[in-house]
Amino acid sequence: MKNLDKYIYLDHSATTPVDPEVYAAMEPFMTNQFGNASSLHTLGRRSRNAIEIAREQVATLIGASRSSEIVFTSGATESNNQAIKGLITHYRQKAPQRDLHLITCATEHHAVLHPCQYLEKHGLKVTYLSVDRYGRVSLADIQSAVSDETVLISLMHANNEIGTIHPIDKICQIAKNTGISVHSDAVQSVGKIPVNVEEIGLDLLSISAHKFNGPKGVGCLYVRRRQRINNLLHGGEHERNRRAGTENVAGIVGLGKAAEIVHRTLEQKFAHITQLAELLRQGLLNRIEKVFDNSPPNCHERIPGIVSLVFTDVSAENLILRLDMEGICVSSGSACASGSMEPSHVIAQLGINAELAQSTVRFSVGHTNTVSEIETTIEIVSRVVSQIRALKLT
């Protein structure tokens, strides 16, 4: 088995390594500072204080006006479900006879699509917006989709497979004029580009710690003051009676510390990741024939770090496995279903055929990567692609 220290890790959009500062901040709350944050004794009060510090750190990162607008969860999947189901059930409870409508996008993460599909089976009207070749939604399409029944627009800030940034600020302007709430899954943007909920005008926003060097299994939902949503979980009065369940103190502390670190280092990391991603993108496009970019050509329309490429006449599954043998970790624009490679729903929406969709590979760069690693990756990918194509022709 290959030494894990020797791998070149280019799958940071899937997850990131925990920052040593984050681990150090968490460690006491997994050992001697183990108190339940709901307890009144000293150990409990220390845990409660640590949680409130983390709440302030997250609020600062995303520009929330009050730390009380941060609700800690198990991650973005729970946050997305709470935002969408919580808002719809609130409206149904408030006006049971009212027809409700939600607008989202066909390229959303399944953590948004599946709750929408679930609610659709129970009477909710849902519009799934289409996208162009680079995953961009049309503001005109959003405006056209709005009706008197629309209560929520849920669109991710940046796509997890191709990096496309949606113009959430402009979408919020459309919603503001009609009294519609806006939720955004910001898993791929928070920690990579500046995100300020007040400036954007968002009502709800989902975050996951492990996407910016925090621990797995913890995240949060930003809920603007006076924004009403019903609880997803019941069984306790935790998180100001908004999310039942004993708080994951160590995880929350880790999320807070990761937020504090990225808040003070974002500009530096942005420049480094952008440089490496563009080096990788241009290196692969220039060195290998018949390779196409799935991300928007304008760098301002995509987050730094994601490089999604179609390698014509190459199976993504084959390329990923071959690269893994060479010590490079990447992922695919396709998902494995029932033992066969099915095109990713995101890539399929870009209008390219199924064969090309199954030739898509996503490289995602992190701040821990180096120029040397990127140069090595370009050399190895070029060689492996040539070998795969040669075998296909013989």
**Residue 133 phi/psi, 5° resolution?**
-55, -25
Q: Is 220 a catalytic residue?
A: no
How many other CB atoms sit within 10 Å of the CB of residue 156? 27
Coil, strand or helix: which one is 337? strand
* Residues 267-282: b if buried by 16+ CB within 10 A, e if exposed: eebbebbbebbebbbe
Q: Return the SS3 of 171.
A: helix
Give dist(CA 304, CA 180) in Å, integer. 30
φ/ψ of 152, rounded to 5, equals -150, 140
Please choose, from the candidates 140, 131, 204, the residue with its C-alpha nearest in 3D space to the C-alpha of residue 171.
Answer: 140
Whats the size of the chain, residue-wise?
Answer: 394
Beta bridge partners of 328: 8
The DSSP code for 204 is: E
Beta-strand relationship, 306-311 and 291-293: antiparallel
Q: Given the DSSP bridges, would you call strands 306-311 and 360-364 parallel, antiparallel or unpaired? A: antiparallel
Within 49-99, strands assigned E span 70-73
Report the SS3 class of residue 90: helix
CA torsion angle 195 201 205 209 (round to 10): 20
Measured between alpha carbons, how far is 325 from 7 in angstroms, rounded to an integer?
10
Q: Please, is 217 exposed, middle or buried when counting C-beta atoms within 10 Å of its C-beta (0-12, 13-18, 19+)?
A: middle
List the catalytic residues. Answer: 336
